[in-house]
Structure 1
Amino acid sequence: HGPEECSINRFESCLIDSVQTQDQYVPLIYCLENNLMAKIPFDKASAKCFRTMSVSEDIQRMIQSCLVSSLGERLQQKAAEKTGD
C-alpha cells in the first residue's frame, strides 16, 4: 500500500466514525471509490461526493478534524488490525 491508499483508508475510517450509519456512509464510500477508479484525484473525488451526496458542513468538518488528529490514527490502526494490513 502506498501513501495515497493510506490516506483513502484513513478518510474512510473517519467517514464511518463521523457518519455512523451504513445507509449514509456506504453510498459515500461507493461514490468515492467510483471516482477514484475513474482516475479523479482523491481531494476532488471526496469534494465531489460530499456535494453529490449533500453531506452537511458539520459532518465534513468532523471528518477533516478526524483526519488530522490522533483519532484518525487510531481508527486507521484499528481498521488495519481487522484486515490484517
Structure 2
Amino acid sequence: MGKLTVITGPMFSGKTSRLIELLEREMLAGRNTLLFKPEIDKRYDTTYVTTHKGIRLPAIVVSVDNDGVKKIKRCLRVLT
C-alpha cells in the first residue's frame, strides 16, 4: 500500500528540497514513486518540481479540477 507524506512550512524553509530528498531515497531503495505538479505552478519549469537552488525532478502535471484528480487516480492504478 502507498503512503502520503505532507510537508508544511513557510516560504524558503526547504519543503521542496525535503520532498526531493525523500523521493530520491525511495527511488534508490527501488520503490516506485510518482510526483505530481499542478498545472498552475509555472515558477521555474512547467514539467519539473524545482528547488530555489535549481535541484529538480520530473513531475506529472495535473489540472486543479476533477480531471486532475482522475489523472492522479489513473496514474496510481498503474502502480498497483
TM superposition score normalised by structure 1 = 0.32
Q: Could you say which structure has the larger radius of gyration?
A: 2
More strand by share: 2
Higher relative contact order (CA 8 A, sep 6+): 1
More helix by share: 1
